[in-house]
Structure 1
Amino acid sequence: MFRQKQDTKPTEITFERVKGYYLWLIGKYGDYTAKTLMQKANTLFKEDTSFNEKALSHLIERGIVDDRRYAQRLTQNYSEKNIGPNKIKQKLYTKGFSSHIINECVTAIETTDEGYLDKALQIKIKKFGNLPIEDEKLKQKALRHLIGQGFSYSVANKAIRHSSYED
């Protein structure tokens, strides 16, 4: 009824096979950090990992894998979604970027404290309304929410005290 799978000889791990795997991942799922690609290849090709680093270096030299470019694009996307700088740093860190690249990308965002205040105000108004928050419990809840979105305490506090009628 069911055919048994014939014993197939495992394919040999070569430079071209590892490089093809990296290109397949990038083509199918988009950009990856070099660290993530290396982890995936080490998992799949655990019998012989000698080609993993060579293939990754080859792709980095050709500009196919570029952590800085990928981090800059992610930083820009997160910035447009009204996420604060601390949350952006956290998200980039979990993606596997180095702290040097993360700091470089976050400082490159052309947003000042007023820009972050505007973003924090948008979130505060959307969730808590236009008026300044006077109730202490609600104020603490709003502060936790804005700080959780990656804004500094000072920016979050200014947003909570802000009234749209002051403009």
Structure 2
Amino acid sequence: MAVKGFAKTEIEQLADKLEAQGIVDDKRYANTLVRSQIAKGHGPARIRQSGLQKGLSKSCVDTAINVADCDWVALARQRVQKKYAVTNDPLDSKERARRIRHLLGQGFSYEQIAAALDYDPYE
């Protein structure tokens, strides 16, 4: 199969050569992607999905996520505070569910969300 007039073997050889020279580096790209996604307030699941969609391997993305020095609970809390008005009043179940859905969509786990919203999910 040819892509724009190039044979697949030619493309693979060039990609291998660029990788050997350090011009193309999936680990560096994954680390940059993770930092960028954290800055946007995204959680680990959404970051993992983004990396996989960009063609990175699962192990490469997971390593970059694990290496990132991020407090996921604090990030989830910041995300909620930015999106919703912060009150000291206890949340009713409808509002809590709304915030949980938002954080799930941003890629945070149930444990991270429960800690960020300061509630016991088993109550």
**Deviation for aligned residue 1:43:** 3.0
Computing the radius of gyration from Cα coordinates, the structure with the larger value is 1
User: Which residue of 150, 158, 162 maps to 2:115?
Assistant: 158
In 1, Cα distance between the equivalents of 2:83 and 2:36?
22
Over the residues paired in the alignment, what is the CA RMSD in angstroms?
2.0
- Point out 4+ residue stretches in structure 1 off by more than 4 angstroms: none
Task: Give SS of 1:78's match.
Answer: helix
User: Which residue of 103, 117, 121 maps to 2:62?
Assistant: 103
Amino acid at match of 2:110: Y
Q: Which has the higher contact order (CA 8 A, sep 6+)?
A: 2
- What are the within-5 Å matches in structure 2 for residues 6-155 of structure 1? 42-45=2-5, 48-111=7-70, 115-131=71-87, 133-155=90-112
- For structure 2, which runs of at least 5 residues remain unmatched after alignment? none
Whether contact under 8 Å (1:85, 1:151) holds in the other structure is yes
- For structure 1, which runs of at least 5 residues remain unmatched after alignment? 1-40, 163-167
Percent identity between matched residues is 30
**Deviation for aligned residue 1:144:** 0.6
Aligned length: 118
With structure 2 as the length reference, what TM-score do the two structures score?
Answer: 0.83
**Deviation for aligned residue 1:156:** 1.1
Whether contact under 8 Å (1:42, 1:52) holds in the other structure is no
The 1:50–1:127 alpha-carbon spacing in structure 2 relative to 1, beyond 3 Å, is closer
Amino acid at match of 2:3: T
The 1:42–1:136 alpha-carbon spacing in structure 2 relative to 1, beyond 3 Å, is farther
